[in-house]
Amino acid sequence: MIENYFIAGTDSCVGKTYVTCALLRSLCEQGINVMGFKPVACGDRTEARDIRNAVGQPTYKLESINPIYLRTLAEPIMAAEMERKPIEKSSIVQAYEQLTAVHSTVLVDGCGPWETPLAPGFSMADVAAEFGLPVILVVNNRPGAAGLSKLTIEAIQKRGLVCKGIILNHIGEEWSTASVTNSRVISELTGVPVIAELIHGQDYIDAVEILS
């Protein structure tokens, strides 16, 4: 049985939703009743639409997948303040519980880096801690990735959560020595296995194999 997972990233624009959608497509192909969950989105709902398309349900209510949507492209805490729509943990938890009631597996796609602020004293890390899910960390496979991975994993562990694996996502087309060697360096530095590497443009991943 595939667990629910929290998909985190070392930074913004590392490909969390891209990886989440690849995992969702793979799980759907295996006949698993899966859904993605994007608790908070700012600017637009492209990522929520990508999630519902990945599971082959283009008419699924966006509000169910993405309960907190802010039009302002900024840190969620500022977007919420500017739009006078405070982000409340209870709304996120309720939406998550509604999804888990009808889907056997839910992949939670985090917003921004691990400690992205959502409200005063409340961050995306608090959401992950509330759910208590094992974490998959998405890392942009570039120079500097090892240090960012170590810092993020330490922060995850301080929350009492387990980082089950790292997925290296090669966003750029060009390769560097760091891109080739990051898998070994990060695994040895953090003690967390690299469970998959996506080359540039790769949109398929064997989710059952790496998440089981």
- Where b means 16+ CB within 10 Å and e means fewer, 46-61 reads ebbbbbbebbeeeebe
Of 38, 61, 85, 150, which residue is the catalytic one?
38
Closest CA to 118 of 167, 16, 110: 110
Question: For residues 150 and 187, what is the distance between their CA atoms, to the nearest angstrom?
Answer: 10
- Determine whether 61 is an active site residue: no
DSSP secondary structure of the chain: -PPPEEEEESSTTS-HHHHHHHHHHHHHHTT--EEEE--EEES-SHHHHHHHHHTT-TTS-HHHH-SEEESS-S-HHHHHHHHT----HHHHHHHHHHHHHH-SEEEEE--SSTT-EEETTEEHHHHHHHHT--EEEEEE-STTHHHHHHHHHHHHHHTT--EEEEEEE--SSS--HHHHHHHHHHHHHHS--EEEEE-TT-----HHHHH-
Return the active site residues. 38
